[in-house]
């Protein structure tokens, strides 16, 4: 059909442009052989064929652009970066063939949703999708044994920096330039149009402990330091911290903790109190300890502990920071705890406060 259409366009073009070339050609070529063609064309309803040619042209005129777009889509920068079988730009349906349905969906600081995949916290992966259901961010604190960008999962911070040169020291968002901390807990690199964060375990020889990949456009469009406060974002951070904690425990051969909503309320009230009254402490302004607050809310426990974090942009950064703080790490990896409640809150500047209460009845 395509060839016939082009032939029709060619014949009509010759017919209507004949006055332009005929007088120059007749001196060299006997055009009498065209007389039957003239008779045939005169017998046709030319208007009908012109209309058909116009319709065909309208149908195909956008096709080259569509083919170009498809070709470009196959070469989207960053689609070569693969993390545990997932690539930026992959369709959600492809991910679910590998990981199944998400165990949880929760709002993140980009005002998008983390889809959390795991099998009882094994093979833990968090994936974000754009409006076309294509991957635009991913995170895991259980990197597989396969290599990532030429690095093994026991690679050290020094090996990462040796491969990618110096990490990013500052990040511009809107009209503000943010200086990134240089505590050695993580490095940020711009690789193939993706921001890649390598998190390191300071207590395991500075080896890679987690990886986050975010499309450059997604990060650049997020112009503020923190997410927009909302009840949904509070719950998102809380569930993400809970899941991240269990994923870390599984890596270290420990049992999974159970979520406790009543203790989450206790934790949430403490985060709110710190955010409202602008302090950061395990002991509140009334001098009450975590144990006092748990007992006031009617909890009977044999073991209990509390982790606090403040100012991290996301639950991921909060968790990784807690894992690098020895006292908080001991709570996360304790064999004595069976349950966990998590509460978050935001102050007037949108700064997040995180409280984790661990306990065993």
Please give the residue that has the higher pLDDT: either 32 or 71: 32
Residue 230 pLDDT greater than 80, yes or no: yes
Euclidean distance between CA atoms 138 and 154, whole angstroms: 20
Per-residue pLDDT reduced to its tens digit, 140-194: 988 666 668 888 778 899 999 999 878 988 887 767 777 787 788 999 999 988 9
Residue 74 pLDDT greater than 60, yes or no: no
5 and 60 Cβ atoms separated by less than 8 Å? yes
Euclidean distance between CA atoms 295 and 282, whole angstroms: 15
Which stretch of 28-32, 52-56, 331-335, 356-360 has the lowest confidence by average pLDDT? 52-56
Residue 29 has a pLDDT of: 55
Residue 272 pLDDT greater than 90, yes or no: yes
Residue 201 has a pLDDT of: 95
Per-residue pLDDT reduced to its tens digit, 50-67: 454 444 444 444 444 433
Q: How many CA atoms lie within 13 A of 127 on its CB side?
A: 31
Per-chain mean pLDDT for the chain: 83
Confidence of residue 80 (pLDDT cuts 50, 70, 90): low
| DSSP-assigned letters across all residues of 240-261 | HHHHHHHHHHHHTT-PPPEE-H
CA distances 282 to 259, 291, 303, 348, 354, Å, are 21, 10, 16, 21, 11
Residue 37 has a pLDDT of: 54
Confidence of residue 220 (pLDDT cuts 50, 70, 90): confident
Residue 4 pLDDT greater than 70, yes or no: no
Residue 42 has a pLDDT of: 53
Residue 260 tokens read as 């406790």
Euclidean distance between CA atoms 155 and 158, whole angstroms: 8
Residue 166 has a pLDDT of: 85
CA angle at residue 227 from 224 to 229, to 5 degrees? Answer: 125
Confidence of residue 75 (pLDDT cuts 50, 70, 90): very low
Mean pLDDT of 200-214: 94
Residue 31 has a pLDDT of: 56
The separation between CA 130 and the C-alpha centre of its own chain, rounded to angstroms, equals 8
By percentage, how much of the chain surpasses pLDDT 90? Answer: 60
Residue 77 has a pLDDT of: 41
Residue recorded with tokens 């055009």: 31
Residue 6 pLDDT greater than 70, yes or no: no
State pTM to two decimals: 0.76
CA distances 108 to 18, 175, 233, Å, are 67, 23, 6
Confidence of residue 83 (pLDDT cuts 50, 70, 90): confident
Residue 296 pLDDT greater than 60, yes or no: yes
Residue 261 has a pLDDT of: 94
């Amino acid at each position: 059909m395509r060839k016939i259409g082009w032939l029709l366009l060619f014949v009509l073009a010759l017919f209507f442009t004949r006055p332009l070339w005929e007088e120059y050609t007749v001196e060299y070529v006997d055009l009498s052989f065209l007389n039957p063609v003239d008779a045939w064309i005169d017998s046709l309803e030319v208007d009908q064929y012109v209309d058909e040619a116009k319709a065909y042209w309208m149908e195909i005129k956008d096709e080259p652009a569509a083919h170009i777009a498809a070709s470009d889509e196959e070469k989207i920068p960053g689609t070569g970066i693969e993390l545990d079988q997932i690539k930026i730009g992959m369709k959600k349906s492809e991910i679910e063939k590998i990981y199944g349905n998400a165990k949880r969906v929760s709002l993140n600081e980009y005002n998008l949703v983390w889809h959390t995949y795991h099998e009882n916290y094994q093979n833990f992966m968090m994936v974000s999708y754009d409006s076309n259901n294509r991957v635009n961010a991913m995170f895991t604190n259980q990197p597989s044994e396969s290599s990532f960008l030429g690095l093994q999962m026991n690679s050290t911070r020094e090996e990462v920096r040796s491969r990618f040169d110096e990490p990013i020291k500052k990040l511009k968002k809107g009209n503000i330039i943010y200086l990134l901390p240089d505590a050695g807990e993580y490095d940020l690199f711009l690789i193939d149009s993706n921001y890649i964060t390598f998190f390191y375990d300071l207590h395991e020889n500075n080896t890679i402990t987690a990886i986050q990949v975010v499309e450059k456009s997604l990060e650049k469009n997020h112009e503020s330091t923190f997410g927009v406060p909302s009840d949904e974002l509070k719950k998102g951070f809380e569930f993400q911290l809970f899941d991240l904690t269990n994923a870390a425990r599984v890596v270290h051969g420990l049992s999974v903790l159970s979520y406790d909503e009543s203790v989450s309320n206790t934790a949430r009230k403490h985060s709110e109190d710190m955010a409202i009254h602008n302090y950061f402490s395990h002991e509140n302004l009334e001098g009450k300890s975590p144990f006092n607050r748990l007992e006031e809310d009617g909890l009977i426990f044999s073991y209990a502990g509390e982790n606090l974090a403040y100012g991290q942009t996301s639950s991921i950064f909060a968790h990784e920071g807690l894992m690098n703080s020895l006292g908080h790490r001991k709570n996360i990896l304790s064999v004595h705890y069976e349950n966990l409640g998590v509460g978050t809150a935001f102050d007037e500047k949108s700064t997040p406060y995180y409280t984790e209460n661990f306990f065993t009845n």
